[in-house]
Structure 1
Amino acid sequence: MSRSTRKTPIRSITTYRSERDDKQIWHRRWRAHQRTALASTPLDDDGTLPESVKQLSDVWCMGKDGHLYWSADRQKRMARLFARRQGRGRKERNALEARLRHKHMGK
């Protein structure tokens, strides 16, 4: 997987790497709510509990707010901008730009 690339260049908006902790907290809360609801109320006709998933958590309160499409042109511009700020010589800037473009397309 070290050479895999993204098929669709969509990235998260924030610098948060993963929503794993937020999802674990949400699922614990949801399962606890379902257990208490099962113990106290009867099921509906179709065998499910009358509870909405969105009542216990809000997606906008989690670490990542959403996603953004990063086109190849935008990736190139951002890599060039960063390379101009950080690189000292032309050779170093070109190497830094190539490294950043490779990093953005990696999984």
Structure 2
Amino acid sequence: MSRSRRKTPIVGHATCRSEREDKKLWHQRWRTRERIALASVSPEALSAYLSLLENQISNVWSMGKDGRSYWSIKRQAATADRIANHKGRNLQECASLKKRLLRKWMSK
């Protein structure tokens, strides 16, 4: 996977890297409530049963990421250039830092 890269540069607004734990909790709650609801419904009323909605279990806005946005390659290069010029001590260090940042951001 060292050569894998993003096909579309869309990134999430967050302090966390992924919402994996939030999604696991949501699915666990949803399955539990669905199991309880199905156990309480009579076999005659089973065909009229409606599944629970996502919003009834959890709020998407309370999860780790607040949304996603498109981060173009041009803007990534400009940001990497600005950071590299600020942190680098010489031209070679600036160039390698910029290259490292772009590879980091374009990886999955």
Contact kept? 2:34, 2:51, Cα under 8 Å: no
Q: Give the deviation of 1:50 after TM superposition.
A: 4.1
Q: Does 1:82 align with 2:72?
A: no
Counterpart selection for 1:43 from 17, 32, 46: 46
**Other-structure match for 1:24:** 24
Cα separation, 2, equivalents of 1:33 and 1:14: 29
Q: Give the deviation of 1:43 after TM superposition.
A: 2.1
Contact kept? 2:14, 2:65, Cα under 8 Å: yes
Determine which structure has the larger helix proportion and give its number.
2
Contact kept? 1:13, 1:68, Cα under 8 Å: yes
User: What number of residue pairs does the alignment pair up?
Assistant: 105
Indicate the SS of the match to 1:43: helix
Q: Give the deviation of 1:88 after TM superposition.
A: 0.6
Cα separation, 1, equivalents of 2:64 and 2:21: 9
Contact kept? 1:14, 1:65, Cα under 8 Å: yes
Q: What are structure 2's unaligned runs of at least 5 residues? A: none
* Displacement over 3 Å in runs of 4+: none
Q: TM-score, normalised by structure 2?
A: 0.88
* C-alpha spacing 1:99/1:50, structure 2 compared with 1 (3 Å): closer
**Other-structure match for 2:71:** 70
What do the CA deviations read for 1:56-101 (whole angstroms, capped 9, x no partner)? Answer: 1111110111111110111011101111121011111111111111
Contact kept? 1:44, 1:50, Cα under 8 Å: no
Q: Give the deviation of 1:32 after TM superposition.
A: 1.1
Percent identity between matched residues is 50
- Give RMSD over aligned pairs: 1.4
